[in-house]
Chains A and B, each alone.
Chain A
């Protein structure tokens, strides 16, 4: 057997290695848009990003989120937003955005030394 053996992981099989090719029509269709899903896991908590999914419209996105992301009672409220409307900071700006906060230690309660006798503060 003259096969070049390569490392192959679960869900990571090199493309060059064999395979059966069935002829198929490749789809020209434009798929359903992508939505980001935010779920409130219980009353009193924030909505938290759960993941994303595809849906034809907002109503369907909410229902799909219900079916996909709350099958085990993970939520009591759902927000959806089409992924293209998410705006985010650029990782290149991380230094100027987030590092200036690093030396403002006086914003944190632990900055202040108080005598032990002071309770409840």
Chain B
């Protein structure tokens, strides 16, 4: 498959898997107002995933001369074909884990999509433009929560520090290039670290140093969690092949 298809699938899978994780909060949030807030982010992510899948489906259909749908891509590919960033598939631990992951994720997503927006592929560029508006809100929302929890109570500070230990090793993957990537991600790291540091300073959090970084998601080497996510996500399409819903 062409680099552009792989890149599109990576972004589609990434948005879908984080959307799937975040959707676990729906009906279980810490307070109604925030249940609604995180669910809005979930809907944005699933919307972004759909745009990328639809575009990937269009490209694949053209190149392979058959009709592929967004759902075939989301529901009928297997673990090794998924290209999402590992950080998305980690299980929700608690609210601190969720808001910190969202903050890391969205802060990188913004930098990446600003590059994508400049890409000569007009479809990808258009999806990026539309998504950036959403992402900016996600950063605002999640960074405020990071500050609140970091500078809130002793318990919230402990919890966000624990989340930090879990999540930080998965942030390195953002900047490790995969051979098909059409955007050079390495140079985004410096800017990303600065934006994280700015919020961390306000939250009273310290950025870990010299941590070994996990990677593999972009090329289909996942954590053990992804298989379980997919078996739930894809269950109906697998159980009733070819059915329309």
Taking Cβ atoms with an 8 Å cutoff, the residues of A that contact B are 32, 53-56, 59-60, 63-64, 67-68, 71
Contacts and interface: CB of A to CB of B under 8 A. Distances in A.
B40 A54 contact: no
A68 B36 contact: yes
A32 B140 CA distance: 20
Interface in B144-187: 144, 148
Interface in B9-46: 31-34, 36-37, 40
A64 B40 contact: no
Given A60-B144, A63-B141, A55 B33 contact: yes
A71 B144 contact: no
A64 B144 contact: no
Nearest to A35: B33
Interface in B132-150: 140-141, 144, 148
Contacts of A53: 33
Contacts of B37: 63-64, 67
A68 B33 contact: yes
A68 B35 CA distance: 10
Given A63-B37, A64-B33, 20 more contacts: A32-B31, A53-B33, A54-B31, A54-B32, A55-B33, A59-B144, A60-B144, A63-B140, A63-B141, A63-B144, A64-B34, A64-B36, A64-B37, A67-B33, A67-B36, A67-B37, A67-B40, A68-B33, A68-B36, A71-B36
A63 to B, nearest CB: 6
Contacts of B34: 64
A29 to B, nearest CB: 11
A110 to B, nearest CB: 47
12 contacts: A32-B31, A53-B33, A55-B33, A60-B144, A63-B37, A63-B144, A64-B34, A64-B36, A67-B33, A68-B33, A68-B36, A71-B36
Nearest to B33: A64
A83 to B, nearest CB: 15
B134 to A, nearest CB: 12
Given A59-B144, A60-B144, A63-B141, A71 B40 contact: yes
Contacts of B141: 63
Contacts of B144: 59-60, 63
Contacts of B32: 54
Contacts of B36: 64, 67-68, 71
Nearest to A31: B31
B149 to A, nearest CB: 12
Interface string B36-64: 11001000000000000000000000000
Contacts of A54: 31-33
By Cβ-Cβ distance, the 7 closest A-B pairs, closest first, are: A64-B33, A67-B37, A67-B36, A67-B40, A68-B36, A53-B33, A54-B33
Contacts of A55: 33
B156 to A, nearest CB: 12
A60 B147 CA distance: 13
